[in-house]
Structures are given as structure tokens and as C-alpha cells.
Amino acid sequence: PNAVPDFAVAVVGAGPAGFYAAAALLAPPEPRVRVDMYERLPTPWGLVRAGVAPDHPKIKSISAQFARTATHERFRWFGNVEVGTTVSREELLARYDAVVYCVGSPADRDLHIPGADRPGSVGARDFVGWYNGHPDFRALTFDLQVSRAVIVGHGNVALDVARILSTPPDRLAATDIADHALVALRASRIRDVLVIGRRGPAQASFTTPELRELGELTGADVIVDPAQLGPPDADADLPHVPRHNLEVLRRYAAAEPAGTGRRITLRFLTSPIEIRGRDRVESVVLGRNRLLDPGDGAATAIDTGEREELAAGLVLRAVGYRGVPIPGVPFDDRAGLVPNVEGRVLGGDREYVAGWIKRGPSGIIGTNKKCATDTVHTLLADLASTPGASTRPAAADPGAIEAWLRRRQPDLVDLDGWTAIDTAELRAGAPLGRPRVKVCTWRELLATART
């Protein structure tokens, strides 16, 4: 079992795509591949830790499966190493037979409207990172002393954010939500959350369980104007997901408000036109749309010119994410991802991609499994056509790689370091009945990793 592996592959990014790629690389009996995973954070699991909402503990439990992959004898994990900064792409290519980038889509798509950069207008990435304890967003503050928030976007991230803003804080206190966020949410005066999307209910990209949970998990009144849903007899012709979404929306539309004091309103065919305010967000100008050529699945929203100005103190845009380039790796700036064919980077050198950086930011965690496995099949087929075994240092002398990395990053966080963080968080959570209490600053994460 200690024989020199045939090849060594670097996987960049410790999210779902990275772990599914690692599992697929380690699975076949031949060739024997060694996997070194590089992650810029001191913690693994990508958006499972930093994106998935804290009130979704079942979904987060997928990390147990990734943790099993991490125990494989031919797997190593190197946290607090950013590829492109701490080490370069060229340095990895000199040491490994292949490199798989699984770096996700960490940037927010922007709203190109006047006032979008006013204080109080924020991206979902920042807000989500903040409540999930991502150390890059620890220092942010959000003014929640306002009565209405407008969320732009009709996807699951928009619903996550609406839920977190509308759930009684005592319920959130039982989750692994970051402590600083819990303190701020306890003091929040937001009672009215409006979630707008430019197209109709049949085009929204929520999944049905998320839509259903909106009322169930928050206890808030979910308000939907029945007139926006159209006649029910048209629903039967819709594909599975929108048909079920409409079922849930019609239930919301028919429900009597329970008068809980918290409201989430879902509004369709509505776009933000301008964000107004003197020093900060005070109102949003909304435009009304109509659908062009509805029914073909690709209906587009057309501005009718109708306007309405609504007072709001917080505008959160959840209109999608995009990738950011790694120096030297080909990048399609328009699409916000790495151009590839079946996972092989176009114009790359033994380089591959999987997950959001390959397909763009859509799909659930499980979608990344097939995506990463497909990429690994491409990669293994390419390796099989390489004559002989590896001559790369990572395959022949893994100790030399680690020594090089420790010189480059004295604060390298290996699996023992992550285990120390994990243990400390779980221990802090246990007496409070919480899954964990997250360590949220870079300084504290690195100090805990050293214990």
C-alpha cells in the first residue's frame, strides 16, 4: 500500500467539487493517484460551510462524506494556501501531473442601476459570508435598524437571505450561525421583507422545498398577490419544478395572514430601476415588467415603463455569482468561468476544472458530483495516454512538496490544524445545544489550528 503512486494531482478548492473530484481520483484501483488539495481558507467544505444557510443543518451534514475522503492514505489537505498568491499555477504544474481547479464562483454579480453602490445596498455574498462566519466578511456591519429590506433575485439564495432576516432570532440561536450575526439579528427592526424578481412565477429559479420552508421555518406571513399567478388551469402544462412552485405560491396567496408581525412578500415581474437616498439607501424605484413570448421556457422581461417608489433601508442583491480568474489560467470574462471542454481547460496545460468554475453558479451540491466525476474521467483518460508513470516531484517525493509549502506558508493549516478548529467549534457548541460555535476571524482560526 505504500508503493509510489503512478501520478500526483493537485486539486484546488475544498468545496463540494474539490471533494467529489478527489474521491473520483482516489477510487480506481489503477492508476494509483495521490491527491493534494489546496484551499485558501484555514477551513474546508467551501460553500457547505460558508454558503448553505445555518438553518439547513441536514444539507451541511454532507461534509461528513467529504471528511471520509480526507482520511484516504493518498490524500493530503493544505489549508491557508491561495493558488495564484501563496503559490503560482506554474509552480503546481512543475510539481504535479495535473491540476484540477474547483475554486467556485466567489464574486457577486452586480446590479447595473443608479445608486447600486449606496451604503445599505449590499451583495448576497457579503451578507451570507457574514452570517456564516466566513473570516473575510467578519468585519462587515449591516444596518438592520430599518423596517423594510428589499431582496433582488428569485433564486434559492434570495430565499435563504429572506429567511435569515425573518426568522425569530431564538430559532437561529440553535444553529451554527455566526455569533456576531446573531447579536445583530436580535436587535434587527426589519419586519417587512420584499423579494422581487424580474420575470414571472413560472420562470423563478427557487426550488420547491426552499419555497415551502419560507413560511414553515420563519413563521412569518408569506404574501403573494394571486393576480400575479395567473389562472391555475395554465399550471398543468408547466415542467415539474415551476408547477410545484406554483402550487406552493397559490397556497401562500390563499392563506389568511396570521399577523405574526413579520412579512415576506414575493413579487414577480418587478425590477429595481434606481436606489435612492441621501447618504444611504432610503428608497427603491421599482419598474413593472411584462413577459415577452411566455411559454417557450425562455421568456424575457420587458419594462412596461410603470414605476413605483418604495421606502426601504436595505437592498440585498442575490442575482448570481461569478468566478474570478487565477493568474495564468485561461478565463472567460463574459461568462465568469474557465473555458473548458468536458472539464479540460481550453488553452491550458494539464489543467482541468469542476464545479461552479466549470459550469457557472447553478445547481445544488449533488450536481457537482457528476460534474467532478466527468472531469476526472477526462483527466484519467489523458493520463492513460501519457507514456510511463509520473516523473513529477509530488508523486515521487511528497515530503519535499510539504517542506516547500511550509517554507512558503509558515501558517500552513493541515488536516491536524483543521481538526483542532473543528474540535474547538464542536466543543463550544455542545453545552449550548448548538451544532458548533464558529471561529470567525483569521487570527483566531490560525491560532486555534496551532493548538
Contact region for ligand FAD (CB under 6 A) — 77-85, 197-205, 226-234, 264-272?
Answer: 77-85
3-class secondary-structure state, position 30: coil
Q: How far is CA 343 from the centre of its chain?
A: 20
Verify binding: residue 76, ligand FAD, rule CB under 6 A.
Answer: no
The 10 Å Cβ neighbour count of residue 303 is: 13
The correct pick among 6, 55, 160, 425 for binding ligand FAD (CB under 6 A) is 160
214 near ligand FAD (CB under 6 A): no
Least distance CB 380 / ligand FAD (angstroms): 20
**Under 8 Å CB-to-CB from 37, ≥6 apart: which residues?**
10, 11, 12, 13, 14, 18, 22, 44, 75, 76, 77, 78
- Give, as one character, the DSSP assignment of residue 366: T
Taking the complex as a whole, how short is the minimal distance between the CB of residue 277 and ligand FAD, in angstroms?
Answer: 26
What minimum distance in Å lies between the beta carbon of 428 and ligand FAD?
22
Taking the C-alpha atoms of residue 114 and residue 100, their distance in angstroms, rounded to an integer, is 39
156 known member of a binding site: yes
Residue 430 annotated as lining a ligand binding site: no
365-394: contacts with ligand FAD (CB under 6 A): 365, 368
Inter-axis angle of helices 367-384 and 16-26, nearest 10: 40
Q: Using DSSP bridges, classify how beta strands 192-196 and 221-224 pair: parallel, antiparallel or unpaired.
A: unpaired
> What are the grid coordinates assigned to 361, written together?
453558479
Residues 409-438 that bind ligand FAD (CB under 6 A): none
15 binds ligand FAD (CB under 6 A): yes
What backbone torsions phi and psi does residue 128 show, to the nearest 5 degrees? -65, -45
Q: Is 181 in the site for ligand FAD (CB under 6 A)?
A: no
Name residues contacting ligand FAD, limited to 139-158 (CB under 6 A): 156-157
Told to check if 47 binds ligand FAD by CB under 6 A, we report yes
With binding defined as CB under 6 A, does residue 9 bind ligand FAD? no
Q: Is 39 in the site for ligand FAD (CB under 6 A)?
A: yes
The reply, when asked if residue 256 is annotated as ligand binding, is no
Amino acid at 334: R
Choose, by CB under 6 A, the member of 8, 9, 11, 16 that binds ligand FAD. Answer: 16
Cβ atoms 134, 167 nearer than 8 A: no
Contacting range for ligand FAD; rule: CB under 6 A; set: 78-86, 327-335, 343-351, 421-429? 78-86
* Minimum distance from residue 356 beta carbon to ligand FAD (Å): 4
Question: What is the total count of residues that contact ligand FAD (CB under 6 A)?
Answer: 35
Q: Shortest distance, CB of residue 134 to ligand FAD, whole angstroms?
A: 9
Concatenate the DSSP letters of all residues of 60-77 into one string: HTTHHHHHHHHT-TTEEE
- Contact mark string toward ligand FAD, 294..333, x via CB under 6 A: --------------------------------x-------
- Residues ≥6 apart with Cβ < 8 Å to 87: 38, 81, 405, 408
Separation CA 45–CA 63 (nearest Å): 6
Q: Is 279 exposed, middle or buried (0-12, 13-18, 19+ CB in 10 A)?
A: exposed
List interacting residues with ligand FAD (CB under 6 A): 12-18, 38-41, 46-47, 51-52, 56, 59, 82-84, 102-104, 106, 128, 156-157, 160, 326, 355-356, 363-365, 368
Annotated binding site for NADP(+): 154-157, 198-199, 210, 363
